[in-house]
Amino acid sequence: MRILFLSDTWTILLCFLVWLCLQTGFAFFCLFLPNRYFAPDGLIFRSHCWEKEGQIYEKLFNVKRWKHLLPDGGMVWKKRGFRKKKLENFSKDNLNRFLIESSRGEMTHWLPIFFFWIFWLFTPPMVPWIMLIYALLANMPCIIVQRYNRPRVQRLLNNLKGREKL
């Protein structure tokens, strides 16, 4: 239900500003949440049977071909960020951190999608649906990459733990 009526110019500017605030605000919010909220084996973040340990994303979206093109937002936040684009350290601690930060990254991209409804407050009725499409196009590739990579890193971590037991 539209409650704010602005000129078209101001409405468009507000749309850009709201998206900027949603994306960066949720990234900042997730960055400061404790790691326990991002357990990779939790209900939200664990790999589900239908995902076939991430392989569904390769099959449906050919994720290996384009995932390197996505930006790595983890390094925007210098002191608290974590680079996920390329693993250079394969220690157990670093792999565990990757799993947590991958979950954090996924949540950072889910939250703006769920808040597309805000646009109903100040835009004509058709615009929020366009904003939902934008939110999905802008965020789903990042979510897909996290859901594709996490099971692969989990498998690598399990292999390392298996070798330690020998």
Residue 84 has pLDDT above 80, yes or no: no
Give pLDDT, residue 146.
Answer: 96
User: Which are the contacts of 110, defined by CB distance < 8 A and separation ≥ 6?
Assistant: 139, 143
Stretch 149-157: mean pLDDT: 94
Joined tokens for residue 50: 């239908």
Residue 34 has pLDDT above 80, yes or no: yes
CA 30, chain centre distance (Å): 10
Mean pLDDT of 37-44: 94
Question: What are the tens digits of pLDDT across the range 20-33?
Answer: 999 999 999 999 99
What per-residue confidence (pLDDT) applies to 166?
58
What pLDDT, on a 0 to 100 scale, did the predictor assign at position 86?
Answer: 75
**Angle of the 8-32 helix axis to the 127-165 helix axis, nearest 10:** 20
Tokens 């292999």 belong to 159
List, for residues 102-146, the tens digit of each pLDDT value: 999 999 999 999 999 999 999 999 999 999 999 999 999 999 999
Q: Which two tokens stand for residue 27?
A: 């990234």
Q: What is the pLDDT of residue 81?
A: 65
Dihedral sign computed on CA atoms, order 111, 62, 56, 83? negative
If we measure between CA atoms, which residue out of 34, 32, 63, 40 comes closest to residue 142?
63
Q: What whole-number distance in Å separates Cα of residue 45 and Cα of residue 103?
A: 6
Q: If we measure between CA atoms, which residue out of 44, 42, 54 comes closest to residue 153?
A: 54
Q: How far apart are CA 87 and CA 150, in angstroms?
A: 12
Q: What is the per-residue pLDDT across 51-71, written as a single tens digit (0 to 9) for each?
A: 999 999 999 999 999 999 998
Q: What is the pLDDT of residue 74?
A: 66
Say how many C-beta atoms besides its own lie within 10 A of residue 150's C-beta. 25
